[in-house]
Structure formats: C-alpha cells, structure tokens
Amino acid sequence: MKIAQVGEVVLRTPAKSVSQTDIETAAFQEFVDALLRTMQEANGVGIAAPQVFDERAVMIIASRPSPRYPNAPDMEPLVLINPKVIQSSEDTVKDWEGCLSVPGLRGFIRRATWVEIEYLQRDGTPATQRLDGFVARIFLHEFDHLIGKTWLDHIELNTDIMAESVWRKEIAGIDEPKSEIKNDDNR
C-alpha cells in the first residue's frame, strides 16, 4: 500500500466510522491485514487508514523495537476501529515522534502520559482500555490521523523539529553507516 505524504488532502480529512456490517466482510479483514503489513514493512509502530488513502476510522498500534524506535516496548499489534478518547491525563510529557507520512523529520511533541479509550476490536466487539507512556503516545499520534491532524499541528517551537538523521545521531545515539558515495570534486 502507498503511504500518503504530508500535504496530501487525505491527511487533513476526518475519517468516517466503520459499520458493523463492513467489519464482518472479508474485504475489510483483508484491508486490516494489508494495513498491518504496510506498517511493519515501513518499520512503523502505528498506522491509520487515512495514511493509506482510506477514509475509514481504523488504526493499528504495535509498539516494538525497530530501527526507527530502538527503545520501544514490545506489544502485540492492536487493531482499533472507531476509537474514542474517554479520558486522558492532565500530566503531559514531551518526547520525539516520527511519522510514516512525514518522512525525514522528527518532532518534540507534548502528549498526555496516559489515555483511556473505547473502540471496536477487529471482530467488532466493543472494548475499553487504558494505555500508558509510549503506547499512549502512539495511540494519540494515530488518533490525530483519524481527525485530520499530524504531529506538525502540535509543534510548540520551531526548535522542536529535527531531521531524522540528526535525531538518530544526537538524541537516539545511533551511528549511521558510512556512505559509499564518492565525491570526485572534493566539495
């Protein structure tokens, strides 16, 4: 699946609720499988349907260590359909976020430290859950995609934006491999 990039209209369009009838179709279940594969192939820890040009209110959160998030906790992928925030902490914390739809950049974003949510599970049954820390951050990031926002809408200062390559070196402490590119003009 192609991932929408910042500036594309779909990322600014609120998602539409998914009906129980739609959830029960093989086509919907195949879409969820493809959405999960797309997220995993891109080394993401979450993805929302609008990021693949689909207008439905579906998202997946799946924290796991990866080259993009080396210190992420490990969890099984969680499919959330028509998610809603019931309550969130008044306490907030700023941390760095990236986005598959905003490649090459990281943002230092303020988010609630926990969130209580309700949603439909992949089989259509209702569920509620409290998410904490990094997993709450992933949820809130993906939820933004369902309401037509990206992390760019939460920037407080211009200095809260950093190139991914600088973030990897300066913040995450990950050394980039040496480039094999030859520079013949010695610039």
Sheet containing 161-163: which strands, arranged edge to edge?
92-97, 105-112, 161-163
Is the CB of residue 143 less than 8 Å from the CB of residue 85?
Answer: yes
Within a domain: residue 177? no
Q: Is 154 annotated as a binding residue?
A: no
Segment 31-36 shows an average pLDDT of 98
pLDDT tens digits, 75-97: 999 999 999 999 999 999 999 99
> Where in the sequence is the domain holding 85, given as residue range(s)?
9-170
Query: CA 99 to CA 44: how far, in whole Å?
Result: 8
φ and ψ at residue 39, rounded to 5 degrees: -60, -45
Q: Is 99 annotated as a binding residue?
A: yes
What pLDDT is attached to residue 161?
96
What pLDDT is attached to residue 172?
81
pLDDT tens digits, 133-177: 999 999 999 999 999 999 999 999 999 999 999 988 888 887 765
Q: Is 141 annotated as a binding residue?
A: yes
What pLDDT is attached to residue 183?
41
Within a domain: residue 186? no
Which domain CATH number covers 163? 3.90.45.10
Candidate list 97, 116, 142, 180, residue with the active-site label = 142
What pLDDT is attached to residue 99?
96
Within a domain: residue 156? yes
Within a domain: residue 3? no
Query: In the predicted model, is pLDDT for residue 125 greater than 90?
Result: yes
Who wins on pLDDT, 105 or 180?
105
Could you tell me whether strands 46-48 and 58-61 are parallel, antiparallel, or unpaired per DSSP bridges? antiparallel
pLDDT tens digits, 53-72: 999 999 999 998 877 787 88
Q: Is 118 a catalytic residue?
A: no
pLDDT tens digits, 3-30: 999 999 999 999 999 999 999 999 999 9
What pLDDT is attached to residue 186?
40
What pLDDT is attached to residue 176?
62
How many domains does the chain divide into? 1
Claim: this prediction has a pTM higher than 0.85: yes
Within a domain: residue 183? no
Within a domain: residue 67? yes
Within a domain: residue 124? yes
Query: In the predicted model, is pLDDT for residue 131 greater than 90?
Result: yes
